[in-house]
Amino acid sequence: MVLIGHGMQAQAISVVQFSANSYNVAENTAAAIIVVERTNDLNTVVSVDYAFTNRTATAGLDYAGVAGTLQFAAGVTRQSISVPILNDGLVEGTETFQILLSNPSGESILGTRTNALVAISSNDRGIQFEFSGYSVSEGDGAIRLAVVRDDDGDYPVTVDYATSDGAAVQGVDYVQITGTLTFAAGETVKPLQVPVVNNSFKQTSRAFRLSLSNPAGGAVLGTPQTATVTILDNDSGVQLEFVHYLIHETEGSVAIKVLRGKDVDLPAFSVQYATTNFTAIAGLDYTEVSGTLSFASGEVEKVLSVPVLYREEATPDLHLKLTLDNPSNGVVLGRITSATITVLDMAGMVPHRFDGIRAMPNGSVELALTGGTPSRFAPYFDLYPIETSTDLRTWVPWTTLLRRNVSSNALTHLDQDLNNAGARFYRTPEANFITPFLPPTGPYAVGVASLLVTDPSRTNRYGVPTNSSFMVNVWYPAEAKGGGHPNLWLDREYASDPAWGMALVLSVAPFFHTYAIRGAPLLRGPRPYPVILHSHGGWSDRNERVDLTEELASHGYLVVVPDHSHAYMSVFPDGRVINTRNLRVETWSSILMVNDSIADMRFLLEELKRWNANDGWLAGMADADNVAVAGYSMGAWLPMELCRSDTRCRAAVLLELGVGLGEVVNRLSEQDVRSPLLMLNASDNNTTKYYDRASQDATWVQIGNTVHTIFTSHYWWVRPGDMPDGLEVSRTIRGYTLWFLNKHLKGATDPVPSRSDYPRVIGLKQK
């Protein structure tokens, strides 16, 4: 306490000062809020003057500072000075100005912090390449780069560009380009495409440069001004596609591609192949194959089929080898000349059936069921859909039993709802429907449709110059009708792709089902369903969050998820397989991917309107003006951007926002968040940046003992030894997301879920 002496008395006096000696603010922030504190005596009215002085920042150009007086009423401890920050388009360093306190009035004095330095960090970085380095396979045809204008300019500017040789030579390795890029007012990204030459020479990687120069119209160059493009040779020689393949012994055969690079100017040649025993024995576990593959001129791939044989008895997983040898006509062998084929044991797969039925003394009926799965499926569940009928002609769904495969208890179920209905029949499919996912909790059955959509305004989809199409999944509330079976989680081509995941994934994923019924009739209700758009993460796909999408559909939402241009793999209805696994972030450009994903969602919002008006199965049931947008990892940038620019977007859900995509993508969301926001974070992700910027209702949730990848439907392999852990994380994500969406799309007034109901939550903020 500060006291002053006067005679024999002491009197308390207010002390007024800044809360800190310095403040930092971004140039694109609307205002800097500077806090002045009052301590000690709070019972009187006091005031203090403030004024501004320039340092390197200039009043009227960088900030708007007007002198004034702060008044503290009795009991008030804090007042603030709001200083408008002027967002110019100049590329400049951090600039500062100073605020001074003076002339305390009433019973007050100044404390020690009588002046505060305010630093304005510039968000203007000029015109530059997104990355300083790119790489491309010579067989890809072209490299696509992004030139970014980042100066907040609302005026048109231009910049010149040109390629130059390094070890790569124009005309031999790439096609020289020069020209001028014109940015319209407000335009921030321009793509550049450089053709690369697919020659037939086996050579090392080589590079060329692309440079920016001569900015005009008031623009300046940022950094990097030069990008290096490395061309990776695709003349790998004849080789197998992968070093390891897995096949379940019940599947009959494994298909293996033999590749000869992507060159179109190839001579005809042949190569020999043969299988050999390892732990698998020819004639007992597989059928031996050997011979010669002949490639025609220009042919780049052939497919070999190796038959596998089923053994009734349980065995360890077995292995054999396939080897290439003796290519002809001067063709050389590539890196992968031998592959291991693992034959996965499937002993113990017992079809479902009824094991008995008996009447109980209380009038109910007890059903006993049996079935079994191999030990590799022990951590997961097996679904037993049961339907009933009174006439053996019309069947309706009755219940789906969920059995944990590790359980040894008999599977029984009571029918207590006979109501003297006379005859009642039961049926269940023989097939095993294995799933790692929790069942949806909503009142509706769930249907799913896979649709091929075409946006003619954009081409070069998945690097295919003529392609404008992409796949979309729609999950929806469905009528409960008989005859439907749980849907396979992934297309077989995806689930079995050796490049997709570890052996654990490939040994079980092809068998995984979900709870949705493919093609089930849409449940038509009295009003249209709100729409959820979901954006998947980098090199994932539209089934990435299937446990969440089916949960939302079961509670009365239409959930729409596209395969973006960076989807790992997409299988088209005509059998074409689009695979982008060889594209890297720097090759495709992260900012172009984000912008392309936003364009996908805007297109789908318009497509929903067309479906709502014209499409028979969805007509009148899609509320395309009542939309929330969710996204995971790289896809979590999209909800904030789309909700900022489209009024149909009512709420944004960010599942573990990805941060490893380069500075340019990080700058996409430097503005304030304008929609209601839910952020779900892993235990090592403490960022509250976007929660802090939210101008409306916002909730920030942190889930303990988690990692980034456990926020997808892949939680079953992130921690394969602890399925209950993954299931609890999934339950928590589903619970908070459903609460948030019900609040903002359906007007629900339920309070935020209790942390006692979701004990994995270790952090919760709301405003």
Question: Bridge partners of 174?
Answer: 170, 196
- Going by the DSSP 8-state scheme, the letter that residue 304 receives in this structure is E
Helix axes 637-645, 590-614, angle to 10 degrees: 60
User: From CA 644, how far away is CA 669, in angstroms rounded?
Assistant: 10
**For residue 506, which amino acid is it?**
L
pLDDT digits (tens, 9 = 90+) for 218-260: 888 988 999 999 998 877 789 999 999 999 999 999 999 999 8
Percent of the chain with pLDDT over 90: 64
Q: Are residues 595 and 709 in the same domain?
A: yes
**Domain's final residue, options 121, 151, 167:** 121
**pLDDT, the chain, mean:** 89
Helix axes 723-745, 546-554, angle to 10 degrees: 40
| Overall number of domains in the chain | 5
Q: Are residues 139 and 170 in the same domain?
A: yes
- Going by the DSSP 8-state scheme, the letter that residue 726 receives in this structure is H
**Domain's final residue, options 315, 344, 373:** 344
Does residue 432 belong to any structural domain of this protein? no
**Domain's final residue, options 329, 344, 359:** 344
Task: Find all residues with CB under 8 Å of 147, minimum gap 6, and list them.
Answer: 127, 128, 129, 130, 159, 161, 181, 189, 190, 191, 192, 212
Q: Are residues 253 and 271 in the same domain?
A: yes
For every residue of 256-295, DSSP letters joined together read EEEE--S-SS---EEEEEEEEESSS-BTTTB---EEEEEE
Give 667's Cβ-side CA count (13 Å radius).
19
Does residue 496 belong to any structural domain of this protein? no
Q: Are residues 709 and 662 in the same domain?
A: yes
- Going by the DSSP 8-state scheme, the letter that residue 249 receives in this structure is T
Does residue 500 belong to any structural domain of this protein? no
Query: Rg (Cα) of the chain, in Å, rounded?
Result: 32
> Can you give the pTM of this predicted structure?
0.80
Show the domain range for 43. 3-121
Query: What confidence tier does 582 reach under pLDDT thresholds 50, 70, 90?
Result: low
* Residue given tokens 């879920």 in the structure block: 753
Q: Are residues 77 and 204 in the same domain?
A: no
Q: Are residues 331 and 359 in the same domain?
A: no
Q: Are residues 414 and 470 in the same domain?
A: no
Does residue 263 belong to any structural domain of this protein? yes
pLDDT number for residue 7: 37
pLDDT digits (tens, 9 = 90+) for 134-181: 888 887 788 888 898 877 667 899 999 999 999 999 999 999 999 999
Burial of 370 (0-12, 13-18, 19+ CB in 10 A): middle
Q: Are residues 572 and 652 in the same domain?
A: yes
Q: What's the CATH code of the domain at 154?
A: 2.60.40.2030
Does residue 443 belong to any structural domain of this protein? no
Q: What's the CATH code of the domain at 634?
A: 3.40.50.1820
Does residue 685 belong to any structural domain of this protein? yes
Does residue 307 belong to any structural domain of this protein? yes
For every residue of 459-527, DSSP letters joined together read --GGG-TT--EEEEEEEEEE---TT--EEESS-HHHHT-TTTS-HHHHHHGGGBEEEEEETPPB---SS
Spatial CA neighbour of 49 closest among 117, 105, 112, 121: 105
Query: What confidence tier does 8 reach under pLDDT thresholds 50, 70, 90?
Result: very low
User: From CA 428, how far away is CA 354, in angstroms rounded?
Assistant: 8
pLDDT number for residue 6: 35
Q: Are residues 145 and 245 in the same domain?
A: no
The mean pLDDT of 593-622, rounded to a whole number, is: 91
Token digits for 504?
A: 């654990």
The helix (H) or strand (E) run that includes residue 12 is strand 9-12
**For residue 517, which amino acid is it?**
I
Q: Are residues 311 and 201 in the same domain?
A: no
Q: Are residues 629 and 688 in the same domain?
A: yes
Q: Are residues 531 and 613 in the same domain?
A: yes
Does residue 499 belong to any structural domain of this protein? no
Could you give the 3-state DSSP secondary structure of residue 366? strand
